[in-house]
Amino acid sequence: MAIFRALLGPGIVAVAQSLEKPEAWLATMIVLGLVSDISDGILARRWQSDTGALRLADSVCDDIFYLGVAVVAVGHHWQAIRPSVWLLVAVLVLEALRILCDWLKYGRMASYHSYAAKAWGVLLASSAVALICFDSGSTLLTLALAWGIACELEGLAMTALLPNWARDVKSISHALALRDRMLA
C-alpha cells in the first residue's frame, strides 16, 4: 500500500496535467492515498509486520505522495495558496531540517507516526480535496499548514529528546517516557 501511495504522488501530477477536468480523478486519488495511509498502518500492526524499515518506507511514501499533491495545488491553484505560501515554505523547510537532524543523529530518517501527524494527514488531504477539486478551502489549508508546522516541531523535539532511533512515538509525553527507558 505504501508503494501504491508513492506512485499516486507523480500520478496526481500526471492526471492534473493531462486531463482538462481532472477534479473527480484527483479527489479520488487523494482519498485513496489517505485511506491507504491509514489502512497500511492498521494492517501492519494487526499482522505484526510493522518493522522499522516498513515504517520508514511508509514515511518516505507519504512524503512523495504529498509532494505530488503540493505540486498540483501550487501549479493549478496558486491564487488560493498565495496567502499561505509562507506556511507552506515553513513546513517544507522544517521537514528538511527534521530529516537532516534525524540523519545526523540516527543515520536515518525518523518514523514517529505521532497522533498529531495522523491528524495532519487527514487535515492535509481534506484541504487538498477542497482546494484542488472545489477551488475553495484556503482557510482549511491555512489550518492544515499551521498544524503541519506544529507536527514538524514535535518531530524535531522528539529527535532532540530521544538518544536512539525509535519508531511509532505517539507524542512528546511518549518520547519523554521512552527516553527515560532508553537512558535507564
Orientation of helix 23-46 relative to helix 2-18, angle to 10° = 180
Question: When comparing pLDDT for 53 and 68, which is higher?
Answer: 68
Question: When comparing pLDDT for 135 and 176, which is higher?
Answer: 176
C-alpha cell at 94: 522544517
Q: What is the pLDDT of residues 121-159, one digit of tens each?
A: 899 999 999 988 887 778 899 999 999 999 999 999 999
Among the listed residues 122, 102, 104, 14, the one whose alpha carbon sits nearest the alpha carbon of residue 60: 102
Q: What is the pLDDT of residues 63-103, one digit of tens each?
A: 899 899 989 988 888 888 888 899 999 999 999 999 999 99
CA distance 5 to 136: 24
CA distance 16 to 131: 13
Taken in order of first residue, the domains within the chain and their CATH numbers are 2-183 (1.20.120)
